[in-house]
Structure 1
């Protein structure tokens, strides 16, 4: 895939991360945001990508424009990052269409809205897809792709190819689901984690420690299915041997509701685990640590 010109609509946290990713991969980036946000975060984001992937031999240029029409002049792909507001999103996607060619894919970073709802007012809804990143979006490789009822398969395939070409690890959902894929998996695990803390089974610190030093490292490298298959003579043998144990766990999984008492219990235990460290300190440690983790996954990961 040759050099592209990427249109970024919305320049908040996610928009800036996308701009850095595309520019680091050598594509020119044209940015529109009505709030005229500063570019202060970009040098740090690019430095993180340099640490992860090595300095870009020929980074693309990033230019900000005050008008949407000027931003989208001559672009090859749009990454939209507007607020999670359905009426606004519908109007915005339809407006984007007025300024791009019919062949241009429009991808939304939405984390909560369904593509079928967002594309409802589009002239060519077939080319609208979800391209949802995972935070911190400039470092994390995952991009979730799904189309709406009117999206065609070619648009999904083209979006996936563009994301793969900048070093992302896209996954494609075969149908729309609330929360897409990764958040549903996280939500299932986190519901049980919250219930265990709420009921006094373990503290936040020990629940997180159990995941970090239990399945976390193995699943990071190989995912759950491949990793578990190695604990027996293949996945079928694993399910035969350990299926009853998992069924017993599933039959006794706890439920969680984020009522005031639960929120209070989780907050107290989480603050104890944080132990006075600042948000800035924790984020810096996370970003620095992710570089090493993701390098290892790139070298040793199974998928």
Structure 2
């Protein structure tokens, strides 16, 4: 397994900047690339708060790594041991960029894409070494949320997936590995299923957006944060076996009546109206700061008392 001292971060937007902070906080040097030098200045301005957030969640065990900027992406320009790519979700851009990254790094360096919607098999088609291309999808805000979803494409080698998992664990993340590709990966599919039912409840006039969010935040949300759905239900009766016998028919009745939803103009308009009512006069910056501050406290508790 390749040693890990320096990480390349390609793309310094919202996701890439946070990845750079994560790797540096873990004591790794970072070479960050973006064709727009303004992104580097934005990172420098955001870095103190990002590092403060990370330090509160997980105090560093040693000195922070150095982050430096490389505006050009050319042959041998990234002498790194791992790459995290964070370009916009456009397949032609991803294919071209991954091929360019290959020219900038050694042949055995694993390249992970932060893509949330594209498949690795579609991205790796123009790569000289497609066996080392993997997905490493973080959750937003990427510097705080522990989850990273990993999966390979049709031509990805198992060692590349294993190495990516090791890298993320080395940086304090909580990686999960999929055995095959699927649109939306794991977490987004779970969120999509829940949100589809939420849209159905709103469209049918059964519940408002505020009450739906309140039901989740003050119902399964706190327990699932600490223990997940399976362990939580295991504790809901005399073990998971008894739970399935006792409550299985109820869940089957729910599954049989789950609704469908679409993003038609009327439904979207109603969701927008109700969401805006919840937000009221609070700015996005205010809500984001409140979220990140709260996440620090939640993640510290989850780290100490989580079951997974």
Instruction: Assess same fold via TM > 0.5.
Output: yes
Report if the CA contact (8 A) 2:75-2:105 is conserved.
no
Corresponding position of 1:48:
53
**Contact 2:15-2:142 at 8 Å conserved across structures:** yes
Change (3 A) 1:71 1:294: farther
SS at match of 1:68: coil
Residue in structure 1 matching 2:215, options 210, 219, 224: 210
Task: Find the residue that maps to 2:260 and give its secondary structure.
Answer: coil
- Partner of 1:16 in structure 2? 17
- The residue aligned with 2:225 is 220
Residue 54 of structure 1: how far off its partner (Å) = 2.4
1:245 to 242, 250, 259: 250
Q: Is the 8 A contact 1:30 1:71 kept in 2?
A: no
Is residue 2:290 matched to residue 1:285? Answer: yes
Map Cα deviations across residues 259-293 of structure 1 (whole Å, 9 max, x no partner): 11001111111111112111111101100000010
Output the CA distance in 2 between the equivalents of 1:187 and 1:71: 41
**Secondary structure of the structure 2 residue equivalent to 1:73:** coil
- Please say if residues 3 and 81 of structure 2, whose CA atoms lie closer than 8 Å, have aligned partners that are also in contact: no
Task: State the distance in 2 between where 1:111 and 1:178 align.
Answer: 9
2:141 is paired with a residue whose SS is coil
Aligned pair 1:101/2:106, yes or no? yes
Unaligned runs of 5+ in 1: none
Q: Which moved more, 1:271-280 or 1:155-164?
A: 271-280
Residue 92, structure 1, aligned to residue 93, structure 2: no
Distance (whole Å) between structure 1 residues aligned to residue 66 and residue 119 of structure 2:
32
- Mapping 1:1-303, distance limit 5 Å: 4-36=5-37, 37=39, 38=41, 39=43, 40-55=45-60, 57-69=62-74, 72-303=77-308
Number of matched pairs: 303
Equivalent pair of 2:134/2:150 in contact (CA under 8 Å)? yes
Do the aligned residues in 2 keep the contact of 1:24 with 1:56 (CA within 8 Å)? no
Comparing 246-255 and 42-51, the one that deviates more: 42-51
Distance (Å, rounded) in 2 between the aligned partners of 1:16 and 1:246: 42
Distance 2:207 2:163 in 1: 46
- SS at 2:124 equivalent: helix
Superposed CA deviations along residues 191-217 of structure 1, whole A, max 9, x for unmatched, are: 111111222211111110100010001
Range that drifts further, 144-153 or 1-10: 1-10
TM-score with structure 2 setting the length: 0.96
Distance in 2 (alpha carbons) for counterparts of 1:284 and 1:183? 23
Could you tell me how far apart the structure 2 residues matched to 1:60 and 1:153 are? 29
TM-score, normalised via structure 1 length: 0.97
Structure 1: distance between partners of 2:230 and 2:93? 40
| Aligned-partner SS, 1:120 | coil
Range with greater deviation from structure 2 (120-129 or 66-75): 66-75
Q: CA deviation at 1:51?
A: 1.7
Structure 2 gap ranges (5+): none
Report the 3-state secondary structure (helix = DSSP H, G, I; strand = E; otherwise coil) of the residue aligned with 2:227: helix
